[in-house]
Each structure stands twice: as structure tokens, then as C-alpha cells.
Homo-oligomer: A and B are copies of this chain.
Amino acid sequence: MKTYRKGYVAENQLVHMLYERGWAVMRAPRSGKISIPSPDIVAIKSGRVLIIEVKSRVAGFQIRKEQMNELAEYIERSGGEGYIALKLPYKGWKFIRFEDVLANGGNVGKKFLDEKSLDLEEVVSN
């Protein structure tokens, strides 16, 4: 399975998990981009807004500055909560608050992830 395809399947799974928990969900189009930046997933429930960027890789990596800026603007406009989501082998989905990743210079290392990451239930029941 190619990384692209793998990422798509993972994203789809997360969308369904949120849907099953009562969220209104939308995922960004893969193609036909409209020159306006958007995150991978937006989920809304009773006025609570989650802005989610999915990274289909293990820690550590760095999110490039341009993407961090685009996410920051989207979060600012919406007034929602930003998260970076990772699907880890054996551990499942982990979420890190966008502010934490921003404060860490866009870096998502293994130790950082261990310290800061949340499970899905922690995110949705916030």
C-alpha cells in the first residue's frame, strides 16, 4: 500500500470514528484544490469545532512552517481547536494540540508525543 493510499484510509477511519460519536464531519477534497488552504478534517458538534490535520507517519518529524501558518490561520478564523492526529502502529490514534506543536517549532518527536498526546476519547469529551 502506498503512503498516499494508506493516509487516505487512515483519514477515512478517523472520520467514521468521529461520526459514530455524534460529530458532523467533513474531509478535505483530495483533488480539485481551490487555492484556499484547509485542514484534512473538520468536525463539529453542538458548536464545538475541531480542526484536524492527519499525519500518517511515526514521530519524529517536523511540520513545515508554511503548513503550520495555514493551520494557524484556519484555526484563528474558525475559532476552533486545532489538533495534529497520528495513527500509530499498535497504539492507535493520538492527538496533539496545535498550540503544543506550534510551541515546539512544528516538531513532533517521540518524547514530545509521549508527553503531550491525547487519546480520541480525551479530545472528544473535552
Contacts and interface: CB of A to CB of B under 8 A. Distances in A.
Interface of A: 8, 12, 15-16, 19, 22-32, 34, 36, 38-39, 42, 44-47, 49, 51, 74-75, 77-80
Interface of A: prevailing SS: mixed
A29 B8 CA distance: 13
27 contacts: A8-B32, A12-B34, A15-B34, A15-B36, A22-B77, A23-B77, A24-B51, A24-B74, A24-B75, A24-B77, A24-B78, A24-B80, A25-B36, A25-B38, A26-B28, A26-B38, A27-B29, A28-B29, A29-B29, A29-B30, A44-B49, A44-B78, A44-B79, A45-B77, A47-B47, A47-B78, A47-B79
